[in-house]
Amino acid sequence: MEGLPCGVYGVASVDVREMRSPGHDMGIFETIFKRPKAGKQLMGFFKTMTAYTPVFTTWEGGIYESELCRAAIHAFASHASKLQPEVRGTALRNLDRILKFRPNPYMNTSQFLYRTATILSVNNTAFIVPVENDLGQLTGYYPILPSRCEMLDYGGEAWLRYHFTNGQTAAIELSKVGILTNFQYKDDFFGESNAALLPTMQLIHTQNEGIREGIKNSATFRFMAKSNNFSKTSDLKGEQKRFTEENFGADNSGGILLFPNTYDNPQQIKSEPFIINAAQMAAIKENVFDYFGCNEDILQNKAIGDAWSAYYEGKIEPFALQMSLVMTNMTFTQREISGGNQVYFTANRLQYMTNRDKLDVSSQMLDRGLMSRNEIREIWNMPPIEGGDEYLIRGEYYSAKDKTKEGT
């Protein structure tokens, strides 16, 4: 058995403290990963319930390079970035401010959520690691994108060892890491790749190539003729070049084409615009939409009312729930969680209703004391007002707390 490699930190082959000169901030890598305590013994891969080796590898299928797939991922990540974090409980109250504004020194909350959602969509596995200060206190979170991740057993404890595209390697305790997954089936810890989308990706590529060549060819060839006087290919190409320059150049302002008598049966090729197979394109789009759980209205920001509610419940809400659970478990101990300490991610779904639906909900919820005036103002993207957090009841519009005191 061997000890935890000194070249693994958390990571790099040089101690963080040696790399940090006075007045010089550490980089992202050194900020996130720290050198683990000595004495840990490498026991090999961590044993899981399945027969699969607990190894995650980034899929190189180029899903994010497809315009349609990227649009679907962007739509999901954009809406996910609007989620509002909230830390409940008294264990780590400073985290509420950190999560609401800047989860790490390099990202605001919107960027943090967008990056996490994008990584999850592309790889079906996203890792969130804690950012700690020199005292080991939690000060933030960072979503990382390793090219490979292995789950190892160090002294009976599960560790994750990351490999990055720049050659760096990092290790961190599994208990400290948040792992989000999609399509988790074979592996106990990581999601499946998006290889199931590969046939559709190939169709998209073939279709795009066909469109490009079709448009190019429809605008290139104009005339064809048969010539029997050229025995060499080089002579034929020379004549083709001469004919093109004399008849299609800027000097031919009259627009008249002259053919030598060596040409037999010259014909004009009718230029027709390239027509895309609409049914085929619609079928390919539908495959992508089905895979990512969206539609064209979502991609074009046209979805409102029931359409938006369906997308929220099918895509945004599961992501918010998974984020809440993952970050709660990586932030608090089980005892702290039992005491009511949790991390929540929520969204105000009412903001995506039509104005008519907003007005109906606003009046009915306000009149019945179910929403305060400031909560109603939030629906309409208006700032809160002083005294607007009280709940009013229809009728004389007494404050709900006053009516409770009066026993009514």
Q: Which of 173-182, 217-226, 352-361 has the lowest mean pLDDT?
A: 217-226
Which tokens sit at 175?
Answer: 């208990």
Q: 361 vs 116, which has greater pLDDT?
A: 116
In tens, the pLDDT along 365-403 reads 888 888 899 888 888 878 889 989 988 887 655 565 655
Banded pLDDT at 334 (limits 50, 70, 90): very high
% of the chain residues with pLDDT over 90: 28
Average pLDDT over residues 32-51: 52
Q: What is the mean predicted confidence (pLDDT) over 57-69?
A: 76
343 pLDDT above the threshold of 50? yes
51's CB contacts (< 8 A; 6+ apart) are: none
Task: Label residue 307 by pLDDT band (50, 70, 90).
Answer: confident
For residues 85 and 328, give the distance between their C-alpha atoms in angstroms, rounded to a whole number. Answer: 11
In the predicted model, what is the mean pLDDT of residues 173-187? 91
CA 330 to mean position of chain CA atoms:
21
pLDDT of 95 strictly over 50:
yes
Tell me how crowded residue 385 is: count the other CB atoms within 10 A of its CB: 10
Q: Of residues 8 and 394, which shows the higher confidence score?
A: 394
190-218: pLDDT as tens digits = 999 888 988 888 888 777 777 666 666 55
Q: What is the pLDDT of residue 259?
A: 65
Which of 19-28, 178-187, 215-224 has the lowest average pLDDT?
19-28
Flag whether pLDDT at 46 surpasses 70: no
- Residue 232 has what DSSP assignment? S
Rounded CA gap, 337 and 329, in Å?
8
Report CA-CA distances (Å) from 112 to 10, 107, 201, 213, 356: 21, 6, 28, 40, 33
**DSSP state letter for 197:** G
Evaluate if residue 331 carries a pLDDT over 90: yes
Assign 313 to helix, strand or coil: helix
> What is the per-residue pLDDT for 315?
94
**pLDDT tier for residue 22 given thresholds of 50, 70 and 90:** very low
Q: Which amino acid appears at position 331 of this protein?
A: T
Beta bridge partners of 150: 55, 161
The CA distances from residue 306 to 6, 107, 313, 350, in Å, are 56, 33, 10, 11
Within a 10 A sphere around the Cβ of 139, how many other Cβ atoms? 16
User: What pLDDT, on a 0 to 100 scale, did the predictor assign at position 20?
Assistant: 34
Mean pLDDT of the chain: 77
Residue 14 has pLDDT above 60, yes or no: no
Residue 12 scores a pLDDT above 70: no
CB 180 within 8 A of CB 323: yes
> Counting beta carbons within 10 angstroms of the beta carbon of residue 58, is it exposed (0 to 12), middle (13 to 18) or buried (19 or more)?
middle
pTM score, two decimals? 0.71
How is residue 34 written in tokens?
């720290």
The answer, yes or no, to whether residue 310 has pLDDT greater than 80, is yes
Residue 81: the pLDDT is: 94
Q: How far apart are CA 66 and CA 368, in angstroms?
A: 49
Residue 363: is its pLDDT beyond 80? Answer: yes
Collapsing DSSP to helix, strand or coil, 2 comes out as strand
Residue 214: predicted pLDDT: 63
State the DSSP string of 331-352: HS-HHHHHTT-EEEEE--GGGG
pLDDT in tens, 122-156: 999 999 999 988 888 899 999 998 888 888 888 77
The per-residue pLDDT for 231 is 58
pLDDT band of 51, cuts 50, 70, 90: very low
Selected residue with higher pLDDT from 168 and 128: 128
Which of 362, 360, 370, 408 is closest to 392 using CA atoms?
370
Q: Rounded mean pLDDT of 247-259?
A: 62
Order of all β-strands in the sheet with 178-181: 138-144, 125-132, 178-181
pLDDT for position 5: 39
Place of tokens 């993952």: 326
DSSP lists the bridge partners of residue 141 as 130
